[in-house]
Amino acid sequence: QVQLVQSGAEVKKPGASVRVSCKASGYTFTSFYIHWVRQAPGQGLEWMGWINPKSGGTNYAQKFQDRVTMTRDTSIRTAYMELSRLNSDDTAVYYCASQFCTSTSCGNLFDPWGQGTLVTVSS
Amino acid sequence: EIVLTQSPDTLSLSPGERATLSCRASQSVSSTYLAWYQQKPGQAPRLLIYGASSRATGIPDRFSGSGSGTDFTLTISRLEPEDFAVYYCQQYGRSPITFGQGTRLEIK
């Protein structure tokens, strides 16, 4: 079945960068965009952007435009999200999620999701 | 950006009751591009409804979605114990993609 498995929890100091990975299985990796969504503790969901695994093209939310980089390695079916210049507000669970498609069309909604990666930013 | 406001913030009901959750958009959302998710503690969200009213694969038919323009509704016809969770609406028709703040459905 379609599955996304993310890397493990990270603890980072303010000002550092973090890279989270998302390994796909059960489908053709280049067929569906991978999105990244984060959730601060006790808070709601915040979309960060997407990567097209086929072309490498990206689209970032304006809030993260200057700090996020999404990449992929098709040889190992893995997408990456790197966030730089971390601060305490970046403490959150980061999810990757596959673009959802029906038999006739695709949209920028998400199914399935990875299990999430907790990133803690603390001095 | 399109702001989605969900109401109520918390809904307290008993198993067997009917739940009605609301999602209001700051601008018109094509009904093709409105989704609902369920999230349980410690888990990733799960897609329930897309296109405002279509159930995702494996979602029980007690879940239904409706609405158009700026007002959308998720209805759970008869609550099961496993339905108590947080529910989010999402619009995906216009960038940036945005979510509502969530409605917590708790056991009364």
**A33 falls in which pLDDT band (50, 70, 90)?**
very high
Q: Does the beta-carbon distance from A116 to B35 stay under 8 Å?
A: no
Give yes or no for a contact between A78 and A22, defined as CB atoms under 8 angstroms apart: yes
Q: Does the beta-carbon distance from B45 to A110 stay under 8 Å?
A: yes
The mean pLDDT of chain A is: 96
**B11 falls in which pLDDT band (50, 70, 90)?**
very high
Beta-bridge partner residues of B13: B107
pLDDT of residue B41: 95
Sign of the CA dihedral running B28, B34, B39, B44:
negative
Query: How close does chain B come to A40, measured CA to CA in Å?
Result: 12
Kindly tell me if the per-residue pLDDT of A103 is higher than 90.
no
Kindly tell me if the per-residue pLDDT of B7 is higher than 90.
yes
HSE-up (13 A, CA, CB side) for residue B89: 35
Mutate to test the interface with A, among B97, B103, B104 (most CBs of A within 10 A): B97
Give yes or no for a contact between A6 and A63, defined as CB atoms under 8 angstroms apart: no
Give yes or no for a contact between A111 and B40, defined as CB atoms under 8 angstroms apart: no
pLDDT in tens, B44-100: 999 999 999 999 999 999 999 999 999 999 999 999 999 999 999 999 999 899 999
Chain B residues within an 8 Å CB radius of A61: 95-97
**B30 falls in which pLDDT band (50, 70, 90)?**
confident
> In this complex, is the C-beta atom of A95 within 8 Å of any C-beta atom belonging to chain B?
yes
Q: What is the dihedral of CA B78, B89, A82, A27, to 10 degrees?
A: 60
Tokens of A70: 């999404």
> In this complex, is the C-beta atom of A116 within 8 Å of any C-beta atom belonging to chain B?
yes
Kindly tell me if the per-residue pLDDT of B31 is higher than 90.
no
Kindly tell me if the per-residue pLDDT of B101 is higher than 90.
yes
Mean of pLDDT values over A70-97? 98
The Cα–Cα gap between B85 and A41 comes to 16
Kindly tell me if the per-residue pLDDT of B8 is higher than 90.
yes
The answer to which of A25-29, A34-38, A95-99 has the lowest mean pLDDT is: A25-29
Report long-range pairs for B65-71 (Cβ below 8 Å, ≥24 apart). B65/B34, B65/B36, B67/B23, B67/B31, B67/B34, B68/B31, B69/B25, B69/B28, B69/B29, B69/B31, B70/B24, B70/B25, B70/B26, B70/B27, B70/B28, B70/B29, B71/B22, B71/B23, B71/B24, B71/B25
Size (chain B), residues: 108
pLDDT of residue A104: 85
Chain B nearest-CA residue for A64: B96
